[in-house]
Amino acid sequence: MTTNWTILHEKVMHHLDAIYADVPLDMPIGKLASQLIETIGIKREEDIVMPGPYVNYWDEQDIIMITYGDSVINEGELPLTTLYNFLNKYCKTTINNVHILPFFPFSSDDGFSVIDYSSVNESLGDWAEVSQIAKDYGLMVDLVINHCSARSVWFENFIKGEGAGHDFFFTASPDDDLSMVTRPRVSPLLRETQTANGTRYVWCTFSHDQVDFDFRNPQVLLAFIDIIRLYIEKGSKIFRLDAVAFLWKIVGTTCINLIQTHEVIRLIRTLIEHIDPSIMLITETNIPNRENLTYFGNANEAHAIYNFSLPPLLVNTLVTGSCRYLKSWIMSMPPAQHGTTYFNFIASHDGIGLRPAEGLLDEDEISELVHTMQNFGGKISWRASAHGQQKPYEINITLFDALQGTTKGPDKWQIERFICAHAIMLAMEGIPGIYIHSLLGTSNDYDKVANTGQNRSINRKRWSLPELEALLDSPYSQHHKVLTRVSQLIRIRKTQDAFHPNASQYTLQMGDQIFGFWRQSLDRKQSVFCISNISDEAQSILLSDINLVGTDHWLELISREVIHDVNAFMTLQPYQTIWISNQDSE
């Protein structure tokens, strides 16, 4: 008799055969498969859930807020408690999921150099505070899977040559041919380290404080499955696989997007979905668009992928006043299969990545975008190209300040332009992710850059709660205006069936100054035409050009204006967005 355990065990073995095809193991594949299944928390046949194919465990009400655990602080209160109270006061009707950026003990990179994966940074709180948030909001956590801190016990044991983790790290030789390796940084790839076993050269994709794991050792895989189990027990519902594209290394290759990396993600998905199919994996792969799309697999890898091309393309659109590149890209994007979706964002704790714009914007367009952002106070982070040249890798700037003007310079349309960006993102196919500093309309934090010496600090302000509340309560502040208007858009989105992450999306052809697309609900009953003037001049559109059916009743959802004449002209003010629907779901 074939049991669910047998089916799962064979599936896990299939993944392992692909991952370790060229790696000699010191245990049978079948035994390793059993260990992995037990480590994820499946001890008995009754523990196994058999997932259905192509199921969407999300809908139009899902919004994810991205934040550090201490983005808002209040004297005498644990930051995670402050975050919980902030969410309840300002976001209860808009946000239902929260991505708390790494909240573990760390040594650098604002949390992404993890010292201990199993505990909470005591300056933020404890697991009790994390679980409190997880009870009322879907909790998204980072699985920093490519590397850990050089101050971790694992790396200390690597130096000593004994104990847990002593064989967890990838090493190479300075004499190896590493010329093809894809680098997101300009620091030396190998870190010379004196160990009990002599001088070793440890692979460091990002920095010498972030030492890369060696997944050729199955004990590393087992350790991370154990970490995943712990996070699930603490309430995690969404896992962000940080920098996962670099996970598997083979000397002499690019060491990015290797087939073993994809298979590891498939294995993790298989294990997770057999204990709770509603848990999501989101891959954080800041790479060119075509490569990024491969992380969907055949609806058997990531449930969602970061839509990394959207931020640079949308910012470029709004500062140039032309949607030509954005329109071309969105037309080329395949609809996500059921069981998968896009994770849309236009700002995050990192900057505006430029690698995902490669092949979509030409070099002159990227150069002009970089120059414009520098004029708006932005910083530029660099990477080494394959030929050793430095290329712009990331623009470091808050989204609010990135949209303060156009290529002509700052102007009076900053808030309108900023709201337009969010209206476009919120209406698109996929699940929206909104960075807390976008929700709050935060400007560049130059003091923090000066204090840390890190460009990314410009967009990582730490707000004092009393100061922030005073600004949010003032109807004249940019922060109040932004929070009020973005929250209004979110509340509208959450009531429209046509904004389901997997609802159909079709691009409209309305010239370079008007960006539009049509969304249709899964049951085909609701249509919403999402149209934005992305220029600094008023634009008129003829409603008949978008084929509004005359027998339907049409309503503009944002202004609540009823459309009586489907053949009339409508004038859109600079950066105005309209959502025209044939039914009102509010």
- Residue reference for tokens 């956590």: 141
Nearest-angstrom CA–CA distance, 233 and 377: 43
Q: If you ran DSSP here, which 8-state letter would residue 26 be given?
A: S
Q: CB under 8 Å to 31, separation ≥6 — which residues?
A: none
* CA distances in angstroms from 412 to 331, 369, 400, 406, 416, listed in the order given: 31, 20, 13, 10, 9
Nearest-angstrom CA–CA distance, 85 and 444: 25
Q: If you ran DSSP here, which 8-state letter would residue 527 be given?
A: E
The distance in angstroms from the start CA to the end CA of the chain is 52
Q: With CA atoms as reference, report the closest residue to 206 among 142, 268, 148, 141.
A: 148
- Name the pairing type of β-strands 352-353 and 341-345: unpaired
Report CA torsion sign: 87, 91, 94, 100: negative
Nearest-angstrom CA–CA distance, 405 and 414: 6
3-state secondary structure of 356: helix
What string of DSSP letters covers 203-250? E-SSBTTEEEB-TTSHHHHHHHHHHHHHHHHTTEEEEEEETGGGSS--
* CA distances in angstroms from 299 to 148, 270, 305, listed in the order given: 29, 11, 11
* Residue 29 near residue 13 (C-beta atoms within 8 A): yes
- Residue reference for tokens 């952002």: 373
Instruction: Considering the candidates 242, 401, 445, 497, report the single residue annotated as catalytic.
Output: 242
Q: With CA atoms as reference, report the closest residue to 214 among 304, 299, 282, 154.
A: 154
Contacts 24+ apart (CB under 8 A), 522-527: 522/497, 523/497, 525/497, 525/583, 526/496, 526/497, 526/498, 526/581, 526/582, 526/583, 526/585, 527/498, 527/581, 527/582
Rg (CA), the chain: 24
Nearest-angstrom CA–CA distance, 406 and 574: 12
Nearest-angstrom CA–CA distance, 470 and 472: 6
Asked about 177 being catalytic, the answer comes back as no
> From edge to edge, which strands make up the β-sheet containing 390-396?
352-353, 390-396, 379-384
- Name the pairing type of β-strands 527-533 and 577-581: antiparallel
Helices 29-39 & 4-19, crossing angle to 10 degrees? 120
User: Which helix (H) or strand (E) segment is 266 a member of?
Assistant: helix 259-273
Tokens representing 573 are 């003010």
Helices 465-472 & 79-90, crossing angle to 10 degrees? 10
Q: If you ran DSSP here, which 8-state letter would residue 295 be given?
A: G
Q: Exposed e or buried b for every residue in 193-208, given b needs 16+ CB within 10 A?
A: beeeeeebbbbbbbbb
* Active-site amino acid positions: 242
